[in-house]
C-alpha cells in the first residue's frame, strides 16, 4: 500500500476550477501537497490563486480533457514539472439532460469523451508512472448515478457506470503494485453541474443537495486510507443499496421522475 504520510508531494486534480474538484484540491493543499490543477475554463487560474493561499505551489492548466490534445497538454505539464505524481484525482466530468434522441449528439459525445475517454487516457499515462516506481494513489469520481439507468440522463449515468466498474477492475489489477485505486461515488451535490447540464427545471435539479466540501473530504480520506470505494452520505448509501436489488426497468422509471424536463414544476 502507498505510504500514507503527507509531505511536499505532488497532486494532480482535474475538473478543479469549481465544485468537488476544487474542494479535493483544497484537501491536498491543506496537507502540504503541491498541485497541478486542470479544467477547460479560465476560472482554473482563479482557483489556483486561491489555492496558493495555503502556502503550496500551484500550476494551473487550462485544457479540454475531452480531447487527446487536452490530455496531452496536461501530461506534458506534469512531465515538465520533473516530479512524480503522488496522487491523481481524476474528477473532470460533465452531464447532459433531456431525452437522448433530443440531445445534440456532439454534446452527448463530449460527455463520453470527458467522463470516460479523457479520464482513462490520463490514468493510463500517470498510472504507468506510478506503477513503475511502486507508489501512488488514484481517486476517480464516479457516482451513485452509475447504479441506475438514467432516463433523461442516459449518457451521463452510463459513463458513471463505466467509471465505477473501471475503478474496481483497475484496483484489482494494481493490488500488489503499491498503487491504490479509490472511487468516490457521490449523490446530487451542490455544484454547477445541474446548471451546465440543463437540469435546473428538473426535480433532481431543484432538490436539496450535499455540500461539495464534505463530499470531497469523504473521498479524499478514503483515498488516503486506501479504500476501494466510498458512497458519500447515508441517504446515498441507502439509495445505492436499494438500487442493487431493484430491477433496472423500475430504476429507469424512477429516474425519469427525477430528471424528466419540467419535473421540477410537477
pLDDT, tens digit (0-9, with 9 covering 90-100), for 48-85: 999 999 999 999 999 999 999 999 999 999 999 999 99
Q: Which domains does the chain possess? A: 9-197+209-246 (3.40.50.720)
Per-residue DSSP letter, 6: -
pLDDT at position 6 is: 43
Rounded Cα gap, residues 11 and 85, in angstroms: 6
Mind telling me the catalytic residues? 156
239-256: burial string, b at 16+ Cβ within 10 Å, e else: bbeebeeeeeeebbebbb
Residue 63: predicted pLDDT: 97
Tell me the residue ranges of DSSP E strands in 71-135: 87-90
Where residue 8 falls among pLDDT bands split at 50, 70, 90? confident
| Highest-confidence segment of 14-23, 201-210, 245-254 | 14-23
Q: Which residues pair with 185 in a beta bridge?
A: 231
Res. 136: pLDDT tops 70: yes
pLDDT at 4: 41
Place of cell 515538465: 80
DSSP 49-88: HHHGGGT--EEEEE--TTSHHHHHHHHHHHHHHT---SEE
- Report the pLDDT value the prediction gives residue 235, as an integer from 0 to 100: 73
Q: Residue 265: its pLDDT value, please?
A: 80
Q: Residue 26, SS3? A: helix
Beta strands 87-90; 58-62: pairing state: unpaired
pLDDT of 177 > 80? The answer is yes
Q: What is the mean pLDDT of residues 85-99?
A: 97
* pLDDT-above-70 percentage for the chain: 97
pLDDT exceeds cutoff 60 at 3: no
Amino acid at each position: 500500500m502507498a505510504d500514507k504520510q503527507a509531505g511536499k508531494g505532488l497532486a494532480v486534480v482535474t475538473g478543479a476550477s469549481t465544485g468537488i474538484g476544487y474542494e479535493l484540491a483544497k484537501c491536498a493543499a491543506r496537507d502540504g501537497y503541491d498541485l497541478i490543477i486542470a479544467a477547460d475554463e479560465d476560472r482554473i487560474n482563479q482557483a489556483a490563486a486561491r489555492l496558493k493561499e495555503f502556502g503550496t505551489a500551484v500550476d494551473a492548466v487550462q485544457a479540454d480533457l475531452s480531447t487527446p490534445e487536452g490530455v496531452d497538454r496536461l501530461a506534458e505539464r506534469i512531465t515538465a514539472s520533473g516530479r512524480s505524481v503522488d496522487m491523481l484525482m481524476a474528477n473532470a466530468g460533465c452531464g447532459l439532460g433531456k431525452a437522448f434522441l433530443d440531445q445534440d449528439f456532439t454534446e452527448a459525445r463530449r460527455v463520453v469523451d470527458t467522463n470516460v475517454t479523457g479520464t482513462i487516457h490520463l490514468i493510463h499515462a500517470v498510472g504507468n508512472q506510478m506503477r513503475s516506481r511502486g507508489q501512488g494513489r488514484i481517486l476517480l469520481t464516479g457516482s451513485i448515478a452509475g447504479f441506475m439507468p438514467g432516463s433523461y440522463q442516459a449518457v451521463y449515468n452510463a459513463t458513471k457506470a463505466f467509471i465505477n466498474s473501471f475503478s474496481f477492475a483497475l484496483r484489482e489489477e494494481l493490488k500488489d503494485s503499491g498503487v491504490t485505486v479509490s472511487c468516490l461515488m457521490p449523490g446530487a451535490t451542490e455544484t454547477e453541474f445541474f446548471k451546465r447540464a440543463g437540469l435546473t427545471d428538473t426535480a433532481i435539479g431543484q432538490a436539496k443537495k450535499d455540500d461539495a466540501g464534505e463530499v470531497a473530504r469523504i473521498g479524499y480520506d478514503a483515498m488516503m486510507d486506501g479504500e476501494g470505494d466510498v458512497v458519500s452520505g447515508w441517504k446515498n448509501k441507502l439509495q445505492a443499496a436499494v438500487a442493487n436489488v431493484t430491477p433496472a426497468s423500475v430504476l429507469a422509471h424512477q429516474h425519469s421522475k427525477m430528471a424528466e424536463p419540467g419535473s421540477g414544476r410537477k
